[in-house]
Chains A and B, each alone.
Chain A
């Protein structure tokens, strides 16, 4: 079946540090991959996506590359800010539209 595994949090970084949040997946076929962000008390916002192998999604300084050979979609940012503190969810979707989420990784950025 389909599943998503994320690195466990919480992740605590200093401002301007480099961020990596690991995400690996198991899926049949060729899923689309997503990163969502959730700020405290809010719904989820789409951060970036990739729909086929070797695609790179990017937004607001965040990037992730769809690696079929390693079944991974790691989230990276070169220099985090305090305002990036949130919970990040990796997700996949196959035909049919349902999203399969990882458990989420909480990021805390200290000034």
Chain B
């Protein structure tokens, strides 16, 4: 079955530590996206990538970093510079080049204490 996997489902970290969230897709999509969702809020775009080895900042990129070394993978690192990292993080993918729908993973809930 094609889809997007995110791991782990729940992640706990101490303040001051960097943490990397995994996102893998086997849909053969060129474009991948990371969103942040806070309770009762909509989705805010962190980073996106439309092709391997290239990515762009979204609306709230400060304190985050990404890499896109493989088409299937788009890991997100939440750095210690991110002031309020506790949130639900969603990864998505789509075909590139047009207004195509995005397919979402199940999400990772990150708690930093």
Binding site for B on A (CB under 8 A): 31-32, 34, 36, 41-46, 49, 51, 89, 92-99, 101-104
Contacts and interface: CB of A to CB of B under 8 A. Distances in A.
A98 to B, nearest CB: 7
Contacts of A97: 31, 48, 50, 94-100, 102
Contacts of B104: 36, 43-45
Nearest to B103: A46
By CB atoms of chain B within 10 A, which of A34, A43, A98 has the most?
A43
A23 B6 CA distance: 30
Contact of B99 (A31, A89, A104): A31
B101 A95 contact: no
A96 B48 CA distance: 11
Contact of B105 (A43, A46, A51, A102): A43
B42 interface: yes
Interface of B: 4, 6, 31, 33, 40-43, 45, 48, 50, 58, 90, 92, 94-107, 109
Nearest to B97: A97
A103 B98 CA distance: 23
Contact of B43 (A32, A41, A101): A101
- Looking at A32, A41, A96, A99, the one whose CB has the most chain B CB atoms below 10 A away is A99
Contact of A49 (B6, B101, B105, B107): B101
A95 B45 CA distance: 16
Given A97-B98, A97-B102, 6 more contacts: A43-B104, A43-B106, A97-B95, A97-B96, A99-B92, A103-B41
A102 B42 contact: yes
Contacts of B50: 97
Contacts of B45: 98-99
Given A43-B107, A44-B104, A46-B101, A101 B42 contact: yes
B42 A43 contact: no
A42 B50 CA distance: 25
22 contacts: A32-B99, A32-B100, A36-B104, A42-B106, A43-B4, A43-B104, A46-B103, A49-B101, A89-B42, A92-B99, A93-B99, A94-B99, A95-B98, A97-B50, A97-B99, A98-B48, A99-B33, A99-B43, A99-B92, A101-B43, A104-B41, A104-B42
